[in-house]
Structure 1
């Protein structure tokens, strides 16, 4: 049985947990962490820095008082810049709940489409996005600010 997930805005007190959840999700995915021995430290720092400064744009998924995932809308209003679920909680509805909440907010803002992107070989994320109604619109090389390198990415869109 999947327990209920509470979606709420991140608070300053959540920043450390948000950074750790994002890094744990990234580190558990071999597709995302096969870029050299220095990369985990760089990415861990990027997650922690973003969480420390990104509270206005971050929503967290909480289950039984524990932050199990989070999402952010940084940049364009129709763009979901981040979606991270702790590996111990993947496949239990937190990612979908976060996306559905973001879709509701976007509709309330009059936004007609949602955009998201991920590593081109991140099959689990792509599968979730497609199950939530996204369709693939682009595949190619793109600069990752957190990783400071070009990576193969896919862009997906969903009509709201």
Structure 2
């Protein structure tokens, strides 16, 4: 199915539950993760972290909406030059929504005069890394990083784009 009409807009209060669910489902569907993520306590902790972030965050969060449904979302949480989150529901992946979200945030950062933008992902998340590279990012760091939500060390990559 080809989707031609979608909207990227700021999150509103009515979106928050759907945003948490989309993020969790996208995380859970990834094949980039290790066996430690299959532990039921980790899965429940991560589900709770997505719900909590969506319910309480005051970050810059944008959603992709298609016919009233939240298909994906992204956020700038923390540093103003960092895209902290990018999640597209499994059924909507591969349709350009991730790229549209990245471009949305890049445009906002250009307008704010930000000179370099960073984004991070799990080192085994090859499809995300490819997306970010197609959007003009380059890997600038790879290593271990602590995940507060999963309570484990993760293999991460950080990518950067000079605007």
TM-score by length of 2: 0.94
Taking a change above 3 Å as real, the CA distance of residues 18 and 113 of structure 1, as seen in their structure-2 partners, is: same
Of 92, 96, 112, which aligns to 1:93?
A: 96
Secondary structure class of the residue paired with 2:80: coil
Answer yes or no: is 1:32 the counterpart of 2:29: no
| Structure 2 unmatched runs, 5+ | none
Indicate how the Cα distance of structure 1 residues 33 and 2 shifts in structure 2: closer, same or farther if over 3 A, else same.
farther
2:44 pairs with 1:41: yes
Q: CA RMSD in A?
A: 1.2
Distance in 2, matches of 1:34 and 1:58, equals: 30
Separation of aligned partners in 2, 1:130 and 1:2: 24
Taking the aligned partners of 1:33 and 1:47, their CA distance within structure 2 comes to 19
CA drift at 1:98: 0.6
Q: Distance in 1 between matches of 2:69 and 2:34?
A: 25
Matches within 5 A, 1:1-160: 1-32=2-33, 34-35=35-36, 36-160=39-163
Distance 1:28 1:34 in 2: 13
Moved more, 25-34 or 97-106: 25-34
Aligned-partner Cα distance in 2 for 1:45–1:32: 18
State the alpha-carbon separation in 1 of the partners of residues 28 and 58 from structure 2.
22
- Asked whether the 8 Å contact 2:144–2:155 carries over to 1, the reply is yes
Ranges in structure 1 where 5+ consecutive residues have no aligned partner? none
**Structure 1 ranges of 4+ moved more than 4 A:** none
Question: Contact 1:68/1:85 (CA < 8 Å) preserved in 2?
Answer: yes
